[in-house]
Amino acid sequence: MLNIAKGAFVKERAKAFTMIELLVVISVILILSGFVAYNLGPARVRARDNRRISDANLIASALDQYYTDNLRTYPKPTGCSEINVNQTNTSDGASLEYYSCDVSVLGPSLSSYLSPMPKDPSSIVGNYVYLYRSDGKKVAVVIREFEGGTGGCNATSNLPSIVEVYKSAGNPACYYVAR
């Protein structure tokens, strides 16, 4: 369309974005989304580690309910392996064995208290370990490792005997909830 301005013929410019302007905006959006995606990775790892801690506490709470309902003993599932250590005598001379197994073996025992049994959020097989002492009076739920390193680990010093026996046998333990 032609427009007459001060006696001259002038073409009216169309109001639209140029190709360069569109490319600049798209580039900025891509760079910003790259930064966001890069920063979300560690947040997801921390969230999965926090979920592991929450799961360990849930399992320990279910074990407490089982303990209360079953004559003050914790479940002794089958299919667990004995932890071989030399320190198995109590103050009264009784011999105690320590066992460890994947928490999934607790499913039948704890089904009325916790269903379904929590699984590791990133499918690390065997990351949740159930420890128990042969007299049924001491147990622990251990998380073998965190994805985010050792930042949230509490299995470093002043460990309960059941966790210390497990670690002294060469097993990894990052976090525990002991009863």
Q: Distance (Å, rounded) from C-alpha 9 to C-alpha 136?
A: 99
The tens digit of pLDDT for each residue in 107-134 reads 999 999 998 999 999 877 789 999 999 8
Residue 178, helix vs strand vs coil: strand
Residue 82, helix vs strand vs coil: strand
Closest to 173 measured CA to CA, from 157, 78, 138: 157
pLDDT for 88 equals: 46
Structural domain spans, the chain: 29-178
Over range 167-178, report the average pLDDT: 92
Angstrom distances, CA of residue 19 to CA of 13, 14, 26:
15, 14, 11
Over range 51-55, report the average pLDDT: 94
The tens digit of pLDDT for each residue in 12-29 reads 766 788 899 999 999 999
